[in-house]
Structures are given as structure tokens and as C-alpha cells.
Structure 1
């Protein structure tokens, strides 16, 4: 869809994404499409043509971070030392969640996706995370009762805690890792 846009439509779309990225940088991931349109200098209809919902816009804004998460998960799952792979995955996930002001976490937690690419990326991320967790459980790196959903929920909480006190990120992550190990 994006590749076939007229030049003016492509410029408008990019301007909308720039405004939305600036909102995320300021910690706002609850987009008001009317406000995004105003800040981008386009009509609200233009926003809705490109992004029919605030969530669709958020997916577009954090799409690169989601793709990066898939790469990180692949690297972590393939790590020779699964303890290091697990810590690498959690640390990088926290970094990406924090830099997107929770936008990545919101996209990951969404039941429905606006874009098929998001659905595929989330499925691949889930597959890789499950593979990593299986190895980590088998090697005694994490407790056997810990599920992928547990880790996702804990990471959302950890990201929230780090937003409250960024200087404590390493301490909080260390506590989480020790807790997973039991």
C-alpha cells in the first residue's frame, strides 16, 4: 500500500509519522488523531486514510522497534549460553519498551493488529521467545512454572517502574532475573 502512494500522499504520511514519533518521544502513546492532524498540518481525513485508528498509527510508529525485537529474540534464542541469551533478550526488550514510552508494549499486548506485518512479527517473536524459554527451563536458567505470558507481564511492569526511576533500570532488571531463576 505505502509503495503505491502519490508523492503528496507519501509526504503527508511521513509527516504524520514524524508527528506521532515526536509524541512518543514525549511519552504520549495515546494518540488523538485530530491532534496529530493539526500538528502535521493536514486534514483529519488524511490521517484516517493512512491510519484508520490510533492503534494503526502506533503500530506504524513502533514497527521498526518490533522488527528489531524479532532480530534480538532470534539472536537470544540461538545464544550458546542461554543464561546470557535470556538476559540479553530482557535487557534489550526493556531498552526498546522504554524508548517507545510503552508503545511497543501496547502493540505487543494488543489482541488485534491493524497491519498484517505486525501480526506476523508478533507471531515470530512469540515463537522465538517460546524457544528461548524452553531452553532456559531445560537448562535450569528459569523456574519451570514461568510462562511466556509471565515474562511479558513482568516486562511491562518493569518498563513502567523504569519510567518512574530510569536510574534504577539495572537494579530492577537484576531483581527480575534473580526472580525468574528462583
Structure 2
């Protein structure tokens, strides 16, 4: 019985990996994901199998974004360790915006945690929250802004930039966002 169960788990893992591989290829080739039924065909698995692993296309994107989010967390952690919290916050915002533009899965994860935050988004939120505490203490950020406000503002900028990768436009939007969250009263 244990052997059959292990084989099923291995088979399920292969099916999930095939679905994610097909999704990555679709994103690279077309810039978007097909419906789950088409993704299942591309992966060589049944439609029911696709729906057992992912209930929506957004769930596929989120699964794809987990690896990128781990890398992004390391980058934000590094930015948060900068001695100047204002500089750290600006670097963190820039990293998150650019990371999400490069990886639509990260954007999907940041835009909404259906069913509550994942351990990865909770970890990212903790890093940003600690950075905000330091930035507030230094008078570098508006006191009324919390971590969730920053997430919403960042995802709004990401959404606004989805149709462009022009460096000058991305840089301007990030700079406007960073300038807007600074405490200008000091």
C-alpha cells in the first residue's frame, strides 16, 4: 500500500511539473497562459489532473512565481539591511516592482493572497514591516502608511507598467512611488 501511495505521489509530482513546464513555455512564447484545458493538453495530462493541481490560471502563475519570490525575498532582505532605511526602502520597492514585471507569477502572488498569505508573502511582509519601522523612526516615510499600504501601492505601479518594459518609464514610476511614500513634513 505504501508503494502505491508513493508511486501516486511521484506521478502527481510529475504531472504538476509538466503543467508548470508547459506554463513557462507558454509565457515565454506568448506572454500569457492559455486556459487550463489547453495547458493540460500542452502538458500531456488530463484536464481533471490540471484542475486537481491548479483551480485557476492565476494559481498556475502563483506557483510559477514562488521561485522568483524566493529570489526577490533575498534581494529585499539585502536592501532592508542597508544602513539608511530610506535608501533600503527605495531599493526594496524598486526590486519588487522590477521582479514582478520580470515574473508575472510574482505579480499574481503580490496582488492577492486568496485564502490568506503564504509563508513566502508573510516573510516578505515581515521584512518590509521591519524596514518601515526603521524608516519611520528615521522620519523617512509617512507615518500613516503600513506594509499593506505599500503592497497595494507597489502592485498598482506594477499593474500600470504591465504593458511597458521601457527602462525610463519604469524608473520614473518607481521614483514617483518612492517620493510619494516619503515623509515630506520633516
When the two structures are superposed, what TM-score results if normalisation uses the length of structure 2? 0.80
Counterparts of 2:82 and 2:94, CA distance in 1: 15
1:63 paired residue among 63, 66, 71 = 66
Rounded to whole Å, the distance in 2 between the matches of 1:19 and 1:144 is 45
In structure 2, the partner of 1:124 is 123
Compare CA radii of gyration and give the structure with the larger one: 2
1:42 aligns with 2:45: yes
Aligned to 1:28: 32
Q: Tell me the distance in 2 between the aligned counterparts of 1:120 and 1:159.
A: 22
TM-score (norm 1): 0.81
Query: Whose RCO is larger (CA < 8 A, sep 6+)?
Result: 1
- Give the secondary structure class of the aligned counterpart of 2:32: coil
Alignment gaps of 5+ in structure 2: 1-5
SS in 2 for 1:145: coil
Tell me the SS of whatever aligns to 2:42: helix
- The equivalent residue for 1:179 is 180
Post-superposition CA distance 1:107-145 (Å, at most 9, x none): 22334359xxx7111111111110001111111221212
**May I ask how many residue pairs the two structures share in their alignment?**
175
Shift of 1:67: 1.3
Asked whether the 8 Å contact 1:56–1:113 carries over to 2, the reply is no
TM-aligned CA deviation for residue 59 of structure 1? 2.6
**What's the Cα RMSD here?**
2.6
The answer to whether the 8 A contact 1:24-1:100 is kept is no
Q: State whether residues 76 and 95 of structure 2, in contact with CA within 8 Å, keep that contact through their aligned partners in structure 1.
A: no
